Amino acid sequence: MRISLNWIKRLIDLKKSPEEIAKVLTSAGLEVESIEDNSSKYKNFVIGKILSVEKHPNADRLSVCKVQIKRGKNPVPLQIVCGAPNVKKNQKVAVGLVGAIVPKNQHDENGNPFELLKTSIRGIESNGMICSSYELDLGNDADGILILPKNISVGSSLSEYLGSEDVVFELGITPNRADCLSHLGVARELAAGFKKNLKPITKNNFRKISKQLKEKINVEIVDQNLSPRYSALVIKNIEIKDSPKWMQNLLISVGLRPINLIVDVTNFVMMEIGQPLHAFDYDLIAGKKIKIQTAYELEHFFTLDGISRNLSSSDLMICDSQNSIAIAGVMGGENSSITNETKNIVLESAYFSSTSVRRTAKKLGLSTDASQRFERGTDPNITAKALELAAELISEICADAKVGKIVDAYPEKIKRKEIKLRVSKVSKILGVKIETDNLVELLKSIDIEIEQVGNAILKCKVPTYRPDLIQEIDLIEEAARLFGYDNIPNAITSSVTFSEHKTNRNLLNEIRIYLSSNGFNEILTNSFVTDDKAKLFSENPTNVKNPISTDLSSLRSSLIPSMLEIIKFNLNRGNLNLQLFEIGKIYFSGSENLSGKYFQSYIEQNVLLIALTGFASEKNWFSNQRNFDIYDAKGIASNILKKILFDNIELISYDENENGEILISMNGILVGKIFKISDEIVKLYDIKEEVFVFELQLENFEESNQSDKKFKEISRFPKTSRDIAIVVDSSLHQKEIFEKIKSSGGKYLQNVKLFDLFEGESLGKDKKSFAYRLEFQSSEKTLQDKEIENAIAKILNELKKNFNASLRAQ
């Protein structure tokens, strides 16, 4: 909301700096987002008269002008070199003097301002600049200088002519402060803040001017709930012309475009006191009757912007004796709007139900200055005053206008709401004691009427322009605001509570720290993916009804699509070796057998995804380069599982499926997968490199509880290692041999490690060799060679029996 200081001064006498005003507004809860100070914008710009124009001796397109900038007898004219084609003798022009800051530079790409200096252009001295409207930031015309009317006086300041000396505050008005969507509302806050009184809104001469016309319009409210009050006023014999310069300037300063007297006056009244007005062409109203009732089901109606709107029986309409003529509180109709031929008007000033206006505006997707105010709540008791103000303004400008009497349909007057305020509650909530007298004084400053019931309770009657004041807490907020947040002490009492339940935050952090310490980079990606990418990983992805774009219409059911996007992004930017991970949520819905924690039909789960692509080790002075492969992914998977499961790592088992994927199960439940992303999928992302991933469902894991762990004795007896190399059929999988060694190795076998893998002709056809290092240790004694040899013999025997394995010849 733009608030003009000049405008505020119509309502309150204020001699404060913009900064002081901003401070009061901000501490009142009307956040000043910016201050636009135009008061010095045209400093050093004056009105000049061109006395002579001569050709520049050294440049075809330039002229040398003598410009009079002072009044009086024989003032010394300024010599200015000018490049505009339209410069002529006797023109009145805007002259920037040396030292002036020209708001816009037409030779600068961004139009940045620049300071005028005394210069010499092609050998001729130039002492200023004759400006175009672009350069003055008044319009887009940069082709020639701005030519001003003949009747303005030479030497006067440009800002005086433009009426542009103003300060505009951009305020962030919160939805509860509907009353501050007008200068009156803001002036009220300033009056409270600076302890001043407001000036009267009107000149109080309505009674005088309204005697000229007997004519009245007939108003009938059919639905009193939706339209508690409807005031109307007929004004005849008006002339559609421009509004006066002062009014235009004020409207422009708050961002409204002047159109004509009637539109401008309605806008002016709305911006000044917050009451939206609508003007109908009186001659187009059938039966000279206004009826406020809901629309017909499936009614079509052309609003004044020429668009057909579909309405239903819940939308409130303004009708004449035959047709709808406006959508109440939202927009007028094409059939009754004023035109340049309009002679007689009827002004509407109403109070509509905020909910009704909001529903209609939202349904139609039509938000207007009027609807924004009605839907937040206007003051029911200002409608007549608004008409008086409008009538005064119109008759000041159109001397022949004839003003009627206000027709005021207001079946049941809306009174001030009464709210009880407990003085003790104020100090309980705020944590500071405000004395009753002080409290009363604070609340009275914003026009709250107070009746004291003893010392404990205040009966507060709140003004009707404050629909946000409904219950006690609203008054406590007003008290806090007026008392000043800064005046409430800062306290902190320490009372520590401890969690009774665990989140998996520490688990996730453990994984993050582990991975980042081991060279992995965490990424965070969008939860939304394209529908087609979502379908790669889920049969029926969860779709958003109102996505920001069709590109991002589904919630991800896997972290892989967004991971691949990030890999592609990085590869395209030359980041070729990637070890990335993400911990994030995936979402499921639609399936019948879901049973989510919060909603039966929706599930969200935390998942870890690790992706590897490029070189595991780059070419280096100490090693050769090596690409990542599936064993890198398997390795980190196993590291992480050990990290988060500790002793329970035994619960994990690895299997493989027909697609060449490694499946990870815990207690027989699938919890993760390790695989290479298929060629078809990477192709969809334009990725040529191999990408290996490890995916882990984190919901299945709980935070490890180290506090329950007990120390396991470390053996004090020596460890003995033996290596064995065996030859088996090449179809055999390592895991089977490994398991067999472990199961047959006896109680002293502590560790089995594969350290070599060999295939070659020397072994014979379809044979391969595995070499293992076996570690034996006892916690009770030093092992004898004999015991170790027995164990190895038993292992070899089992391997021979089960896999026809032989010892490899040394």
Partner 1 sequence: MNQSKISLELKIDLLHKEISKEVLSSNELCDEFRLKYLSRKGKVAELFDELRTVSAEEKPKFGKTLNELRNYANNFLEDSLKNFSSQKEKQKIDLSLPGRELHQGSIHLITQTMEEIQNIFISMGFDIELGPEIEDDYHNFEALNFPPDHPARDMQDTFFLENDILLRTHTTSVQIRIMETKRAPIRAIMPGRVFRNEAISVRSYCLFHQVDGVYIDKNVSFSELKGTLISFAKSFYGNNIKYKFRPSFFPFTEPSLEMDITCFLCKGSGCRVCKNSGWLEILGAGMVHPNIYKKVGYNADEFSGFAFGMGVERIAMLRHGISDIRILYENDLRMLKQF
Residue showing tokens 């529903």: 359
Among 325, 328, 523, 792, binds partner 1 (CB under 8 A): 523
* Token couple for 548: 């920001």
Instruction: Point out which span in 48-56, 119-127, 274-282, 582-590 binds partner 1 (CB under 8 A).
Output: 582-590
Residue type for 160, please? Answer: E
DSSP element (H, E) containing 81? strand 78-82
- Torsion, CA 146, CA 152, CA 156, CA 157, rounded to 10: -40
472 binds partner 1, rule: CB under 8 A: yes
148 binds partner 1, rule: CB under 8 A: no
Kind of pairing between the strands at 749-758 and 626-627: unpaired
- Minimum CB separation from partner 1 for residue 804, in Å? 43
- Minimum CB separation from partner 1 for residue 415, in Å? 23
Among 76, 491, 714, 809, binds partner 1 (CB under 8 A): 491
485 binds partner 1, rule: CB under 8 A: yes
Restricting to residues 346-375, which ones interact with partner 1 according to CB under 8 A? 355, 358-359, 362, 375
527 binds partner 1, rule: CB under 8 A: yes
516 binds partner 1, rule: CB under 8 A: yes
Q: Is the alpha carbon torsion for 499, 502, 507, 512 positive or negative?
A: negative
- Minimum CB separation from partner 1 for residue 596, in Å? 8
- Minimum CB separation from partner 1 for residue 209, in Å? 37
* Token couple for 247: 């009014």
579 binds partner 1, rule: CB under 8 A: yes
* Token couple for 112: 């940045």
Contact 24, 35 (CB under 8 A): no
589 binds partner 1, rule: CB under 8 A: yes
Among 352, 528, 685, 772, binds partner 1 (CB under 8 A): 528
Restricting to residues 592-621, which ones interact with partner 1 according to CB under 8 A? 596-599, 602, 604, 620-621
Among 399, 548, 714, 809, binds partner 1 (CB under 8 A): 548
| Shorter beta-carbon distance to partner 1: residue 3 or 345 | 3
- Minimum CB separation from partner 1 for residue 789, in Å? 40
Q: How far is CA 35 from CA 39, 162, 167, in A?
A: 11, 20, 7
Closest CA to 757 of 789, 733, 793: 733
| Shorter beta-carbon distance to partner 1: residue 176 or 323 | 176
Spatial distance between the Cα atoms of 342 and 337, rounded to a whole number of angstroms? 9
Binding mask 21-60 for partner 1 (x = CB under 8 A): -----xxxx-x-xx--------------------------
- Minimum CB separation from partner 1 for residue 365, in Å? 13
Radius of gyration of the chain (CA): 42
Restricting to residues 620-659, which ones interact with partner 1 according to CB under 8 A? 620-622
| Shorter beta-carbon distance to partner 1: residue 552 or 645 | 552
Residue type for 299, please? Answer: E
Among 41, 92, 177, 291, binds partner 1 (CB under 8 A): 177
Contact 648, 709 (CB under 8 A): no
Q: What is the DSSP string of 657-710?
A: -TTS-EEEEETTEEEEEEEEPPHHHHHHTT--S-EEEEEEEGGG-----GGG--
Instruction: Point out which span in 1-9, 77-85, 539-547, 703-711 binds partner 1 (CB under 8 A).
Output: 539-547
Q: How many Cα atoms sit within 13 Å of 641 on the Cβ side?
A: 25
Spatial distance between the Cα atoms of 774 and 401, rounded to a whole number of angstroms? 110
182 binds partner 1, rule: CB under 8 A: no
Residue showing tokens 């939706």: 226
- Minimum CB separation from partner 1 for residue 610, in Å? 11
Kindly report each contact of residues 15-21 with a partner whose C-beta sits within 8 Å and lies 24 or more positions away, as own/partner.
16/194, 18/167, 18/169, 21/169, 21/190
685 binds partner 1, rule: CB under 8 A: no
Cβ-count burial 550-572 (b if 16+ within 10 Å, e if not): eeebbbbbbbbbbbbbbbbebbe
| Shorter beta-carbon distance to partner 1: residue 543 or 721 | 543
Among 305, 418, 522, 647, binds partner 1 (CB under 8 A): 522
Instruction: Point out which span in 156-164, 204-212, 526-534, 792-800 binds partner 1 (CB under 8 A).
Output: 526-534
Contacts of 400 (CB under 8 A, 6+ apart): 237, 238, 239
- Minimum CB separation from partner 1 for residue 26, in Å? 6
Among 17, 110, 120, 517, binds partner 1 (CB under 8 A): 517
Instruction: Point out which span in 240-248, 511-519, 666-674, 768-776 binds partner 1 (CB under 8 A).
Output: 511-519
570 binds partner 1, rule: CB under 8 A: yes
Q: Residue 722's CB: how many other CB atoms inside 10 A? A: 15
